[in-house]
Amino acid sequence: MKQFATITVIGRDKTGVIARVTNFLFEQHANIEALEEQVTRGQFSMTLQASWKRGALKTDILRVGLDALAISLGMEIKLRLTNPTSRQRFAIMVTKETHCFNALLAAKLPAEPALVIGNHADFAPRTKKHKLPFAHLDWHDRAKSENTALELLEKHEIDFIVLARFMKILSPNFVWRHKNKIINIHPSLLPNFPGPQAYRQAYESGVKIAGVTAHFVSMRLDEGPIIAQASFAITPGMELKDIIAAGQKEEAKVLVKAVKLYLGKRLDVYWGVVREV
């Protein structure tokens, strides 16, 4: 059996980072299983999975070496021992609405819900019912709340994040650290009607077909790669509340579908477009 670790490197972009990290791992007798890096607005991010033959991984030496490398590079380097056969752990971010949260837990996904983050304290009893840890971050100071959220995600060893009608905008600093690992559900057929009042926009514009979109979160609001969509007809006489009710049913189903596709490793994002593989 192999031993595995995931290493993340974050900081200002500079020459030679990938070579320095991979050379160090080579010296530690590691095999590089997967590597993904990105540069966004001058910020560098790399996630690397390495493996060792059983008994070859010297964790203490690895940690000390990576800490020294982080200081030398002036970057943030984190190590997490992993097991590829274990179920992925995910965080759910919520505001007030419960339908998507309920659907995710009822779906019995092949992943472990490990943390709930919400900006309203009264959501806590619902998470307690499911024996899930809940963190209330009011989000009045976005930078402070996001920093706390990032610390919680690391503490709980979260692999991906699901926004279950989380009604706050995440900053680029938060999003780029989790590229293609944050799944959101939006109440419209994107790219139509972005923003927080999508159902009202659909109602006031008189469209005959509305819908919902599950997508990866990107730095541009409601423009991330689309994973799944569903539509429903707006029939004569439907009021705004009827459109919202019809949409919420689809939101829950499409969000669960998107998470299942993600967990099935059937998604590939190529030049901003999601393809099933």
Q: Domain containing 24 — which CATH number?
A: 3.30.70.260
The domain boundary, picked from 17, 52, 82, lies at: 82
How many structural domains are present in the chain?
2
The domain boundary, picked from 41, 56, 82, lies at: 82
Residues 203 and 74 in one domain: no
pLDDT digits (tens, 9 = 90+) for 142-179: 999 999 999 999 999 999 999 999 999 999 889 888 88
The enclosing domain of 137 has a CATH number of: 3.40.50.170
The neighbour count for residue 48, using CB atoms within 10 Å, is: 20
99: amino acid identity, one letter: H
Residues 54 and 109 in one domain: no
For residue 169, the 8-state DSSP code is P
The domain boundary, picked from 82, 113, 148, lies at: 82
pLDDT at 79 over 60: yes
Residues 195 and 230 in one domain: yes
pLDDT band at 269 (very low <50, low <70, confident <90, very high): low
pLDDT of residue 91: 98
Q: Which residues contact 271 (CB under 8 A, 6 or more apart)?
A: none
- Residue pair 69/16 in contact by the 8 Å Cβ criterion: no
Mean pLDDT check: name the lowest of 35-44, 93-102, 106-115: 35-44
Residues 140 and 255 in one domain: yes
Residues 162 and 209 in one domain: yes
pLDDT of residue 266: 66
Residues 146 and 50 in one domain: no
pLDDT band at 272 (very low <50, low <70, confident <90, very high): low
**Residue 222 is a catalytic residue:** yes
pLDDT band at 43 (very low <50, low <70, confident <90, very high): confident
Residue 254 token pair: 């499409």
Catalytic residue among 122, 138, 159, 222: 222
pLDDT at 268 over 90: no
- Strands of the sheet with 111-118, listed across from one edge: 134-136, 111-118, 88-94, 160-163, 182-186, 209-216, 226-233
Residues of the domain holding 154: 88-276
Q: Which residues contact 22 (CB under 8 A, 6 or more apart)?
A: 32, 35, 48
pLDDT band at 224 (very low <50, low <70, confident <90, very high): confident
Residues 119 and 135 in one domain: yes
According to the per-residue pLDDT averaged within each range, which of 41-50, 75-84, 163-172 is highest? 163-172
- Residue pair 93/162 in contact by the 8 Å Cβ criterion: yes
- Indicate yes or no: pTM above 0.85: yes
Residues 135 and 56 in one domain: no
pLDDT band at 38 (very low <50, low <70, confident <90, very high): confident
pLDDT of residue 277: 63
pLDDT digits (tens, 9 = 90+) for 49-71: 999 998 889 999 999 999 999 99
Residues 120 and 238 in one domain: yes
Mean pLDDT check: name the lowest of 2-6, 7-11, 73-77, 85-89: 85-89
Mean pLDDT check: name the lowest of 72-86, 115-129, 229-243: 72-86
